[in-house]
Structure 1
């Protein structure tokens, strides 16, 4: 069996910031107070704060309480989209959400992962969610994906590959799909 990875030696993730320390610190202070806040504050105020920090957000966007955004300067949202309660946009890379998109409560969208077979270095890949998509509650969307126009992602689905336009996409039951550390010496690139 392979020895555990030394996490103390893992490469850091500051390269994903794309902004200076003080800017990131300011966002870390403002986000919990004015965006993530669970009170029924104005959606316009949430959207305004996201825009102040560099998000490109269209008209008529609804941002519900509990919304978390890792880096607003890497976020683009089209017109009339809804970001539901407790949605977490963990966008360490570019995240493009089209117009008329609904991202329902508790969903998690992440552009980042780690090189789990080697040194745990941060790996990021952008996500593009096309117009008219509905990501239902508690879905998980992983980096490097495109979700096609008018697709629907079912509740509790983990999306690991592109979703075609107009598809209803979901998984039935969980299953073991592979080994973290293959027995062979073939160490392919992490997903």
Structure 2
């Protein structure tokens, strides 16, 4: 096997200065805008950094968003407290979707077929009316179908079919989601 050391690793850093400015805003001003009543101010700040958000979206002040310019959220959706949105690639969240507290949406990983482990990114899509429960992990390239439920602490590495419930690590089909009202 060829001798390769990680000191030869380099990664393209697009929008580096914008990313630094956003990091400072996200960790200071954004964090101070707590409570439901200030959601519009938080959304306005996210829009200033390129996020695509309608007026009625609830994004908690403790949410960590890596790159707002790679985020699109549909109306009436919620990104709960202490969620991490690692969106080196695009993350699209549909309408009326809930991303519960502590969830980690991760659109990047590394190519394990190379000793240099170059960064690879893939977009994540969360469908309308989907619910990703507390502390779940959603990996790169995953699509959560419309109305699907991802159970608490699940680790999702493959697409989830619409109107199904999955859970576990790795997440597996539990049952079809049936609406009774």
Q: TM-score range by the shorter chain?
A: 0.7 to 0.9
Instruction: Give the SS at the match of 1:131.
Output: coil
Note closer, same or farther for the CA distance 1:63–1:8 as it changes in structure 2 (3 Å cut): same
Look up the match of 2:162.
165
Q: 2:111 matched to 1:115? A: yes
Q: When you count strand as a share of all residues, which structure comes out higher?
A: 2
Specify which of 99, 104, 123 is matched with residue 103 of structure 1.
99
Look up the match of 2:151.
154
Name stretches of at least 5 consecutive residues in structure 2 with no aligned partner: 172-181
Instruction: Give the SS at the match of 2:26.
Output: helix
- Cα displacement (A) at 1:5: 6.1
Q: CA RMSD in A?
A: 2.1
**TM-score between both structures, scaled by the size of structure 2:** 0.85
Note closer, same or farther for the CA distance 1:163–1:40 as it changes in structure 2 (3 Å cut): same
Equivalents in 1 of 2:90, 2:127: separation in Å? 14
- Cα displacement (A) at 1:116: 2.7
Instruction: Give the SS at the match of 2:47.
Output: helix
Number of aligned residues: 168
CA shift digits 1:68-91 (9 cap, x unpaired): 111100110000001100000000
Look up the match of 2:49.
53
Equivalents in 2 of 1:12, 1:49: separation in Å? 28
- Cα displacement (A) at 1:40: 2.2
Note closer, same or farther for the CA distance 1:167–1:49 as it changes in structure 2 (3 Å cut): same
